[in-house]
Each structure stands twice: as C-alpha cells, then as structure tokens.
Amino acid sequence: MNMISNPILRGFNPDPSFLRVGEDYYIATSTFEWFPGVQIHHSKDLINWTLITHPLTRKSQLNMEGNIDSGGIWAPCLTYSDGLFYLIYTDVKSRQGAYKDTHNYLVTASDIYGPWSEPIYLNSSGFDPSLFHDEDGRKWLVNQLWDFRKGTNSFAGIVIQEYSRREQKLVGARKNIFKGTNLKLTEGPHLYKRNGYYYLMTAEGGTGYEHAVSMARSTSLFGPYEVDPRNPMLTSVNDSGLLLQKAGHASLVETHTNEWYLAHLCGRPVKERYCILGRETSLQRVFWTEDGWLRVDGGDNTPKENIQSPSIPVHPVSSVAIKDEFDDINLNIHLNTLRIPAVSSWISLEERPGYLRLKGMESLSSTHRQSLVARRLQSFYVEVETEVEFEPEHFQQMAGLVIYYDTKDHVYLHITHDEDLGKSLGIIQTKAGVYDELVENKIPVSGSVKLKASIEREQLQFYYSLKGKEWLKIGPLIDICHLSDEFGDYIRFTGTFVGVCVQDLSGEKKHADFDYFSYKEVEEG
C-alpha cells in the first residue's frame, strides 16, 4: 500500500483548488504579491507533484505594481469544462481597515500550459471567487461577500450569480445563498453536485489556528442550505499536538478510480505558533456516509500526516536541481519576482551569459519596483548560496542574499560601499518595519564574493567566502520567527522566500552579476 506524505506542497502554497481532468490532477494555489501569478502543480498519482506552470505571466493579466503586502492573488479557482480550463482569481488592492478592494477576473486556456487569455473582469463584491459548471451547461460564480459597514458581519455570506460565456460577463441578479455557521468568517466557497444535492464547501474560522472546513447541502442551487450535523468536517482546532495545524480552505476531487480526496490548507509551526514556511497544502482521504455527508478517513475530523494513496500506479517525478547556473535565457520556474514581471529593463540572463544580471531599483520596503529574484523556503533545514560580482560606488547601492517575508520583515546579507572601508559586507534586519544593522563593523571585501545562509528551523546563520577560501561566519545567529504570518499585530498570508536582490537608491541602476544560485534542503524537518 502506497502512502501520501503531507504536506504534499510544502512552503507557501495556500488555498488549494483541486482539479481532475481524465487521469491528470492539478492543484492551483495563491501567490499573493509574487509574480508570475498562480502556481499550478500536476500529479498522476497524488503522491508526487511537480510545479508545471504559472498562468498569469503578463502585466495585462496581473498588474500588481503598488499592491500592498499580502495583496495580489488570493484563492484562485481552477476548473475544466467544454474543452477549456477556467481560472478565476482575485487581485486584492487594499485589505486593511473597513474596506477591501478585491477585483475578480477570469482567464481561460485550451491547454494547461497556455497560452492563457486576457482577463475578463467579473466583480469586486468580495474575495475567494469560484466557478461552478452545472449539469445543464449553465455556469455560476460564487464568492464571499464583504460588508464594510459598522455593526455588521463583515463576512456577509456566500453570493451566487450566473456567468454568461457568450456575453463574457455576470448576468442576472446576485443572491446570498449561505450566511455561514457559528464558526463565522465564512469564505472560500466551492460548489459540487452529487446524488441530487448541491454541496457548498466553505472555509470558516479564519485562516489561522481556528480554521475549519464546513459543509452544507441543498436540493436547490439557491438554498436553503442544511449544515452538516457534525460540522466542521475538517479542523485542527482541538488538538495543538497535530503536525498539521490551521486545516481549512479545502477543495474536493473524485479520482478516476472512484476514490475521494480533499486538498486543504495547513501550517507547521517551528516554535510556539510561528510558521516560517507559510501556509502549505495537504491531502486527506475522504468518503461519503450513507446519509450523504463527507467524512475524513481515519475516524475523526482532524488532518492526518500520512494517508493511503488511491489505487493508481506510482508515477515518479524528477527531482528539482539544487544549483541553478543561470545557463538558460529564462528564469527557473521556481524563481519569482516581486509584484512586477521579469523584463529586460532590470533583469537579464543574456547580457552576460551564465550570469543573472540585476539592475538596482528600489528598496526592500518598496511595494512598486524591486530588483529581487527569490524562491519559496520549503524545508526547515536549508542551505542557500550564491556568488556575486558587484562594485558599488556609494552606500545607496547594495546587492546580496536576502531572506524575505515582506516589506516589513526581512534579513539581508549585502555588499555595499562604506566611505572608510570601501566595498564591504554587512547585515540588515528589518523587523516589524524597524531597520537595524546586525554587524557593528562592516567587513571589507574585494572581487567576487560568495554568500551563504544556513537555516535550521527558526535560526539563521550567514556566511561569506573570498577567493574560494573557507566559509566564515558573519553576524549573530538570527531568530527568524518574524518571517511568518503570526508575527506582529497585522494580518498577513504569505511565507518566507530566499533569493538575491540589488538596490540602487540613487536611481543610477547599478547592476550586480550573480554566477549561480544554490538551494539545498539539508534535512527534512
């Protein structure tokens, strides 16, 4: 018997939208302010998963310049009908205070790899939109309704409206079909139809440690919806000892072997309640009871770390290369940019073959134009390494290795210019938006410099090497719990990234050349 080991998508891969087309399985996940938009993983066996594509690759599809931290792409929904893949997504422009500006769009493609269409605007009434294809051919959009008024329930229910493929817009009246349960914070809707019932699956309790999956059903698309008498059908809330915390925001698939699986969001804390890897995706094996309710295999409603795989032959996949030598003219699929596309005005893999050239732009606190290329941290034990050639002329020019959560929280081993020392090496830590320098006396360097970060759960140690000599420690052992959703008094939703970046705050666009980028998982946490 083969087993599935959770999480299946490790590190910042939240809000899974689970889809089967024939014998192929896909999961789309949120990417927030990182570009390109939406990650799609593929599997043949539900055990082994491969990142295969990002549908939103053009600024015309996704313009996030200026988007706030933890804005951008929330909770995509991937479906298939009429020979087309449909992707619904939200671009969140504001999310703090009373209001939320949440613009919902649709793109389509006949092939999962694209090309994906230009976006069709749908609405802005709330977030977590999902498209349901009914048996009669009609299509319905459901989404969470946001109510900003004082004294109201901000999570005002799940609304439904018809989508006309011919007119390429929503048509008819909007109707509120479900106000939620006493778990509150009702969001993440998905509709399914089985044995004459419409099943409405929602996320409730908020996306933190009170998170849950709720189920309700109705014989009518428009309700009223009867809540599962044993609701919630999945949650981690009652067991702090579970490996998989925050279980919620789920999506359902029946395999081609007639078995049922649920993809859901989860988190794994490293210390206290801090999840430095962000919110991840796990699978649960589920079944339908005789009276028509969904249950988790294993006897209770908690997420399981290891579950039985379906009756499908194992399809192994290739492992991801540890070291990127930058020999291709395109960025590795695992590398991302922040808010903006990778265009030739600031990034090149061709100007100096075999090197990634980044031209310095704005600071690490900018929500507009940063010269930053990074990948998800997906293990608790990782070594990250690069070699950089950079000749700064003044202190406003910096380049190096960054461990990044968002504009308020990051740690940066960087080369810059000091008036007394010349080219030198230091560490900047920004914690809850407060700038600090962790190396009291910068270290003078020359020529190309190798930089390394060693991460062991919540602890980070930086190293450097000159002229191919031994690695030398620089700076203290740093606690990186602040690189997590749970840190601070503000709500946020992403995860830790590791990568390289360049800043030129003078506007001169001084460039740095990176010879390679190595990401090595030392031990599975």
Give catalytic residue positions.
Answer: 15, 187
Q: Which of 438, 447, 381, 382 is CA-nearest to residue 413?
A: 438
CA distances from 226 to 117, 185, 274, 461 (A): 38, 18, 36, 53
Whether residue 302 contacts residue 243, with contact meaning beta carbons closer than 8 Å, is answered with no
Whether residue 428 contacts residue 435, with contact meaning beta carbons closer than 8 Å, is answered with yes
E-assigned strands of 120-277?
Answer: 120-123, 130-133, 139-146, 155-164, 169-178, 187-194, 197-204, 212-218, 226-227, 234-235, 245-254, 260-267
Distance CA 158, CA 144 (A): 5
Joined together, the tokens standing for residue 453 give: 């970060």
Distance CA 431, CA 490 (A): 13
- Phi/psi of residue 285, each to 5°? -80, 130
CA distances from 386 to 374, 401, 448 (A): 12, 7, 10
Q: Which of 232, 247, 319 is CA-nearest to residue 283?
A: 247
Q: Which of 201, 151, 203, 142 is CA-nearest to residue 177?
A: 142
Joined together, the tokens standing for residue 520 give: 């090595």
Burial state string for 350-385 with b = 16 or more CB within 10 A and e = fewer than 16: eeeeebbbbbbbbbbebbeebbbbbbbbbbbebbbb
